[in-house]
Amino acid sequence: MKLPATALCFILCSASFTVNAADTFKATPVDPEPLNKKPQSESLRDFEHMVELCAKAVRGELPYSQFDAYVEGKSINMMGTEESRFKFYKCMSKNGIPLSPSKDSER
CATH number at residue 69: 3.30.70
Q: Give first-to-last CA distance, the chain, whole Å.
A: 23
Nearest to 25 by CA among 76, 66, 60: 76
Number of domains comprising the chain: 1
Predicted local distance difference test score (pLDDT) of residue 18: 40
Q: What secondary structure does DSSP assign to 38-53, as a single string?
A: --HHHHHHHHHHHHHH
Of 21 and 104, which is predicted with more confidence? Answer: 104
Mention every residue, 6+ apart, whose C-beta is less than 8 A from residue 29: 47, 74, 97, 98, 99, 100
**In whole angstroms, what separates CA 105 from the centre of its chain?**
12
71 lies in a domain? yes
The answer, yes or no, to whether residue 90 has pLDDT greater than 90, is: yes
What's the pLDDT tens digit per position in 12-59? 443 333 444 445 666 766 555 555 566 667 788 889 999 999 999 999
72 assigned to some structural domain = yes
Report the pLDDT value the prediction gives residue 15, as an integer from 0 to 100: 38
Q: Domain range holding 94?
A: 21-30+38-101
Whether 45 is in a domain gets the answer: yes
Average pLDDT over the chain, rounded to an integer: 74
Is residue 81 scored above 90 in pLDDT?
A: yes
The answer to whether residue 10 is domain-embedded is no
- Residue 6: pLDDT over 80: no
Residue 51 falls within a domain, yes or no?
yes
User: In this structure, is residue 106 part of a structural domain?
Assistant: no
pLDDT, greater one: 39 or 10: 39
pTM over 0.75: no
Q: Where are the beta strands (DSSP E) in 12-82?
A: 24-29, 68-72, 75-79
Looking at the predicted structure, is the pLDDT value of residue 84 above 70?
Answer: yes
Return phi, psi of residue 73, to 5°: 70, -125
* 2 located within any domain: no
